[in-house]
Structure 1
């Protein structure tokens, strides 16, 4: 095997763990709640604590890779992810499990930016990097499906008490193998100029992101009560201070956390806009469709899960072919993928009802996944292409942070619209109308994504010369 692709497989193991553990807990919620006697509020915090820790430390993780070495921080992330997974697996109460999940999210935030950074460094040539990003997309699809599958499988085992603990302990052998192969095969890389680490910047940014992500996540069920509103205001003040503080440090040539030169790259700015609107659409869609299926159409959780699996299959298949299509047709491939998603959403508005045959659900979700799989890998490629080696870790952390925060905002904002049109005593017709209004917002988001890609300079996602002259 080509050594570059062996290294790619090693770093993608970190991405697999990151994605898998977002989804693996969802199916096991009833078993966990029963065994550790957790309240509904504790279960809600248990699920969200991973995402809060993840979103709060992504930029820090990216900058740590730039300063201390991407291989080193990737391995540190794997080790802490393994230890926190053990903590989750042996927790006897809700409190320890919530804390362990938060540390898991922080550990994932150390790994995720290094994955994108090392792909950019390993594959500097456009054609190879495009193929590598295709495998990045495939990993996301596999992680999504594997998380839901393993969550259900381990929770249903009968040979041991509390089998749900295996959903966390399964991470241990994966982490051990990844650490071993990382130490043996990965090369170290960091910024050419040695920079000290901005501890105060980490504290300020992490506090600001923690307050905002916590408030947004908890408001999904609690609403914008006094506590959540106050946290958002505090977060805004902290982040404004952080930006001014960072700009001052850069001018004085002192250690900093975010280099605002990033935002001089047109493709990075367009990539951020694209990923924000895309993930507002995507995560809100999964949230809404789950409610619509189970509460509006009366589809059982098992059958709803089967339908979602077809979306994942379409995602993986499209990710396999998207690299070749991007090399042949450039950014038009992404425009086509967005058009496919929008078309499928429109068809769903008119076809999803109580009489819809299951084969149509499977087909439309497969096509939806194919559209998503043709877009997601190239969004990261679009944002990070041409970024200098000194900024790539920083850029990866910022990109991932915007993605995670957008996902939370999408669930809250579009979910709020869905509930508004649903009313207090909804009928099947009310569910359909609320679904319609949510899908309209999703399509508007896709228009903004398409506009961002349309404005992308041609040299960022060029058609390969081989594709032009076969």
Structure 2
């Protein structure tokens, strides 16, 4: 294996862990609740705490890599992820699990921006970077599938008492392998200069993002009350102050956390907008699909998970093969992929009814996965193309932060549309109507992505003809 490919494999271990542990706990919920006596409210916090820690520290993680070294922060992230996974697996009560899951999220936020940054550093040429981003997409697909599969598999084992603890212990050998190889093979890279780390900026930003994501994840569970409104308003005030503070520090040549010159790059702004609309669609789709399958079509959880695996298979396949097409035809492939997703959503809205054929479910989810897999890797490529090396970690952190927050917003906004049309005492017809209206909202988001992609300059994702 070439040195460059081995380095890519090592850093993708970090992305695999970050994605896998978002999903791995979901199927294990009943087992965890039974064994350590966790209430429904605490279980929701266990799930949400990882996402809150992840989203709140992504920008900080990216900046840490820029200032102190991307390899160093990546390895630290792996070590903290492994230690927090061990504590998760040994947890004897809900609060230990909530706190250790929060720390897991923070460690994922240390790793993920370094993954995107190091891919940009390893593959500066457009064609090679596009292929590498295809493997980045494959990793996301594998993490999604592995998380759901391993969560169900370990929770159903009878070889040990409380077998669900293995969903956290499985991270240990992966982390150890990545740490050992990373220390030996990865090369260090960081921003040149002696800029200090802006600690006060971190505190303000993390508090602002924490308030916002905590309020959103609470409202996702139907708890949007006075406390949530207060947290959102506090978050807006903190983030507004953060922006003003960072601009003033930049003018005075003091250290800062976000370099706002990032937003002078047209492709970065378009990439941020595109990934936001796309993830508003994508995560809300999975959330609503799970509810619709189990409550509307009365498909049991195990079979629902099996159906969604076909989506992941399509995602992985497209992540590999679409990169060759993008290198040849440029952004036209993204627009075709988006139109494919829109088409399959329309078909799903009309054909996903009681008694629907299992073959049809598998086929339509697989095609949906093909569409999604052809899009996600290139959205990061659009946002980060041409960003200077000294800004790449910062840009990666901002990009993934928008992605994660958009995902939560999508679940809340489009989930609210779904539940509005569902009503209080829903029948099968109500589920069908609610699903159709939610899918319509998803399609609006996808058309917004098409408009944004059309505005991306041709040199950002050039086809082969651009080099002729």
**SS of residue paired to 1:54:** helix
* Alpha-carbon separation, structure 1, partners of 2:221 and 2:452: 32
* Alpha-carbon separation, structure 1, partners of 2:418 and 2:439: 9
Query: Which residue matches 2:457?
Result: 457
**1:192 CA displacement:** 1.3
Please give the per-residue CA displacement for 1:338-361, whole angstroms capped at 9, x wherever unaligned: 001000000011111002100000
* Alpha-carbon separation, structure 2, partners of 1:221 and 1:118: 36
Please give the per-residue CA displacement for 1:171-218, whole angstroms capped at 9, x wherever unaligned: 011101101000000000001122100000000000000000000000
Query: Which residue matches 1:403?
Result: 403
Please give the per-residue CA displacement for 1:142-189, whole angstroms capped at 9, x wherever unaligned: 000000111011111101000000000110111011010000000000
RMSD of the alignment, in Å?
Answer: 0.8
The normalised TM-score by structure 2 is 0.99
* Alpha-carbon separation, structure 1, partners of 2:25 and 2:260: 37
**1:303 CA displacement:** 1.1
Are residues 1:205 and 2:205 paired?
Answer: yes
After superposition, residues 274-293 of structure 1 pair within 5 angstroms as 274-293=274-293
On the 8 A contact 1:127/1:464 being kept in 2, the answer is no
Please give the per-residue CA displacement for 1:39-90, whole angstroms capped at 9, x wherever unaligned: 0000000001000000000000000000000000000000000000001000
* Runs of 4 or more consecutive aligned structure 1 residues displaced over 6 Å after TM superposition: none
Are residues 1:14 and 2:14 paired?
Answer: yes
Query: Which residue matches 2:122?
Result: 122
Query: Which residue matches 1:391?
Result: 391
Query: Which residue matches 1:38?
Result: 38
**1:119 CA displacement:** 0.2
Query: Which residue matches 2:258?
Result: 258
Unaligned runs of 5+ residues in structure 1 are: none
Query: Which residue matches 1:100?
Result: 100
Query: Which residue matches 2:173?
Result: 173
Query: Which residue matches 1:315?
Result: 315
Query: Which residue matches 2:269?
Result: 269
The normalised TM-score by structure 1 is 0.99
Query: Which residue matches 1:375?
Result: 375
* Alpha-carbon separation, structure 2, partners of 1:411 and 1:228: 16
Query: Which residue matches 1:429?
Result: 429
After superposition, residues 167-246 of structure 1 pair within 5 angstroms as 167-246=167-246
**1:103 CA displacement:** 0.0
Please give the per-residue CA displacement for 1:207-259, whole angstroms capped at 9, x wherever unaligned: 00000000000011233201111000111100000000000000000010000
**1:464 CA displacement:** 2.7
* Alpha-carbon separation, structure 2, partners of 1:351 and 1:170: 39
* Alpha-carbon separation, structure 2, partners of 1:243 and 1:345: 39
Are residues 1:294 and 2:291 paired?
Answer: no
* Alpha-carbon separation, structure 2, partners of 1:236 and 1:36: 37
* Alpha-carbon separation, structure 1, partners of 2:106 and 2:223: 26
On the 8 A contact 1:209/1:235 being kept in 2, the answer is yes
On the 8 A contact 1:79/1:175 being kept in 2, the answer is yes
On the 8 A contact 1:328/1:468 being kept in 2, the answer is no
**SS of residue paired to 1:414:** helix
On the 8 A contact 1:67/1:197 being kept in 2, the answer is yes
**SS of residue paired to 2:390:** coil
**1:400 CA displacement:** 0.3
User: Is 205-214 or 187-196 further displaced after alignment?
Assistant: 187-196
**1:468 CA displacement:** 7.0
User: Is 369-378 or 214-223 further displaced after alignment?
Assistant: 214-223
Query: Which residue matches 2:146?
Result: 146
Are residues 1:356 and 2:371 paired?
Answer: no
Please give the per-residue CA displacement for 1:244-297, whole angstroms capped at 9, x wherever unaligned: 000000000001000000000000000000000000000000000111111011
**SS of residue paired to 1:159:** coil
On the 8 A contact 1:329/1:463 being kept in 2, the answer is yes
* Alpha-carbon separation, structure 1, partners of 2:338 and 2:298: 29
Please give the per-residue CA displacement for 1:285-331, whole angstroms capped at 9, x wherever unaligned: 00001111110111111111111000000000001101101001100
On the 8 A contact 1:16/1:142 being kept in 2, the answer is yes
Query: Which residue matches 1:336?
Result: 336
Count of matched residue positions in the alignment of Structure 1 and Structure 2: 468
Flag the 1:55–1:322 CA change in 2: closer, same or farther, 3 A.
same
**SS of residue paired to 2:221:** helix
Query: Which residue matches 1:89?
Result: 89
